[in-house]
Amino acid sequence: MLKGKTVLLCVTGGIACYKSASLASALVKQGANVQVLMTRNATEFIGPHTFESLTGNRVSVDTFDRNYQFQVEHIALADQADVVLVAPATANVLAKLAHGLADDMLTTTVLACDCPKLAAPAMNTRMYENPVTQDNLDLLRKYGWQIIEPASGRLACGAVGKGKMTEPEELLAYVEYAVGHEKDMTGLRVLVTAGPTQEALDPVRYLTNHSTGKMGYAIAKAAASRGASVTLVTGPTSLSRPVCVETVDILSAQDMFEAVTSRAPEQDIIIKAAAVADYRPAAQAEDKIKKSGTDADLSLPLARTQDILAWLREHKRPGQFLCGFSMETRDMVENSRKKLEKKRLDLIAANNLKEPGAGFGVATNLLTLISPDDMVELPLFSMASAAHPLRARTLARGGVPHPKNRGSYMCRSRVFVIQFS
């Protein structure tokens, strides 16, 4: 995802420097060329040799180092950079960057960069919450910086509060979001559903399914990385929330119905990847259901849940793209075509639970994409790299309103069909 990209990793003088070493390693593993800049204070926490060993590149600290090739080094580094990430970003360096001060190699180079810029603040809670620091962060946002909010917890100084630098895995996700893909979906609004629902029997038990939400989360992440404004409506999962995605948590099928239908009218693309319960207990017991004194079986009356796709079909606006998912155990194509026609979908992504690599809880999937007039069988793919909207192999009928002109249409094959390669 980051192959061929140059990441300018700027490390400033905070205890969170040790996390930056893990981040540098993760970036390199993703194929990035990582150039590290350090302030003098940062070298008091971690040595430049650590980063040089991890990245294979020389670390820049001193503006006046005479051991460089004959070139204006800070300008040369700025020209190479596809993205700047300041992590950790101390209050001091944030203040300098906000006001254009350039008094060392790091700040001078960053001032010369015209690529996307990210900053991950890390400091004591009172320093972070100080109005001066907050004003500096607002000023950086005004200038186009993306500020990655720090986490809350126990800080190195012993205080408990907000100020911990975001973990390397999440920082990597922000870098991938910034430069991992062309922003060819900018202006499009996408709603994705994911995960299972839980239908309560009593205060202790509920009915659910084996969905993990991996496919829906991968689609949401991919659409966001291409510039779309993404809303993810998700049932309970153990997955990390995708960055730069509005996440709406729900429990029951009714919760999902309300969350989706209230947001549907404004969406250009709706992708229903969640495994929503078709039935719920007709009534929820107020107390835990006890075993009877006999060995008699227990029967529980069930009621139908509201059909979200049916509602979307009836309220679909012109140009809106509607995609459903169909998991089957037999007659996959026949059953999925029936669903496509009944719900009047633009596309349905079908898979067979019994096929190796296509079940619940696995990192791969095996899909057949079916439209009203075409069908494509896709090979086994990894979800982590798969869900990139929308470079269709086929299925180029119809369209989605172009974000710059809601009266015109872009070819569906460019906008929505999921790329699985």
pLDDT tens digits, 188-200: 999 999 999 999 9
**61-65, 384-388, 417-421: segment of lowest average pLDDT:** 417-421
**230-244, 279-293, 349-363: segment of lowest average pLDDT:** 349-363
Which has the closest alpha carbon to 386: 363, 420, 361? 420
**Residue 58 and residue 202: Cα distance in Å, rounded?**
62
Q: Scan for tokens 């982590």, then name that residue.
A: 384
pLDDT tens digits, 148-170: 999 888 887 777 888 889 999 99
pLDDT tens digits, 210-226: 999 999 999 999 899 99
pLDDT tens digits, 78-89: 899 999 999 999
User: The pTM is what?
Assistant: 0.84
pLDDT tens digits, 370-413: 989 888 888 887 765 555 533 433 234 345 544 444 333 333 33
pLDDT recorded at residue 396: 42
Q: Among residues 157, 244, 323, 411, which one is catalytic?
A: 157
What is the rounded average pLDDT of the residues 233-237?
Answer: 97
Average pLDDT, the chain: 86
Which has the closest alpha carbon to 130: 169, 162, 100, 152? 162
Same domain? For 334 and 254 the reply is yes
**DSSP per-residue letters across 321-351:** EEEEEEEESSSHHHHHHHHHHHHT-SEEEEE
pLDDT recorded at residue 420: 35
pLDDT recorded at residue 415: 38
Residues 6+ apart with CB under 8 A from 79: none
Same domain? For 227 and 253 the reply is yes
pLDDT recorded at residue 34: 96
Domain span holding position 167: 6-179
Answer with the one of 124, 155, 179 that is the final residue of a domain.
179
Same domain? For 198 and 95 the reply is no
Is residue 371 within 8 Å of residue 395, measured between CB atoms?
yes
Same domain? For 33 and 160 the reply is yes
As given in the structure block, the two tokens for residue 291 are 């075993």
Q: Scan for tokens 């204006």, then name that residue.
A: 72
Is residue 230 within 8 Å of residue 219, measured between CB atoms?
no
What is the rounded average pLDDT of the residues 297-302?
Answer: 89
Same domain? For 332 and 359 the reply is yes
CATH number of the CATH domain containing 163: 3.40.50.1950
- For residue 130, pLDDT over 70 is answered with yes
User: Could you confirm whether 157 is annotated as catalytic?
Assistant: yes
Biggest alpha carbon–alpha carbon distance for the chain = 90
Q: How many domains does the chain contain in total?
A: 2
How far from each other are the two terminal CA atoms of the chain, in whole angstroms? 13
**DSSP per-residue letters across 114-181:** -S-EEEEE---HHHHHSHHHHHHHHHHHHTTPEE-PPEEEE-TTS-EEEEEPPPHHHHHHHHHHHHSS
